[in-house]
Structure 1
Amino acid sequence: MENEKRNEPEKYNVLYCKGKYQYKSKYPQIETKHKVIYAGPVEPMAPIWGNVSDILRKSDRICTESRRELKKLEERSQNNLYFKKNGITHIIVYKCLEK
């Protein structure tokens, strides 16, 4: 059983928060159940990429869905207006620890 868990690909999620209130209400819920990789404001993007790029480049065991989600975040961050246009002020990137 323990060996099966080690062989399963890791799963990461990205939560886009619209406003500080939503961020402050969601963060404690996520923090208690999962490992938070990055949590904070959208601007500046550099702290986000310090963590997310390490996951994408260095980890071999990421599930396909998570890889797509992190790549989507990467694409969205290249468009400077995407987050402002959609009202996104904070991002939480976390590793799922439970199913």
Structure 2
Amino acid sequence: MTTPGGEATLTSAAAVDVGAGAAYTAFTADFDIDPAQVPSGAVTPPDDGTLATISLTTFNPEGTVTVTGLDGALCADVDYADDEKAVTGTIAADLP
């Protein structure tokens, strides 16, 4: 992962679902994630740690979200469809 502070190799991951699968939060980090912090969604990195958090809200989920880049923006390819709607394309969100 590229951050304003440099490169970080993310070696740990955890995730939690909220609302019986209506929303998901994924965490990946360059430190060991404390499993006790994951259910609350309040994973706190150490002062020298790097943490990436990806939050997704889904309804009737059928599809994929693939993170394709982190360099000034979080980029993800989305392929989602259900009986009422479909989303296909790329999302890019600037990182502060």
Is TM (by shorter chain) over 0.5? no
For normalisation by structure 1, the TM-score amounts to: 0.24
- Give the structure with the higher percent strand: 2
TM-score (norm 2): 0.24
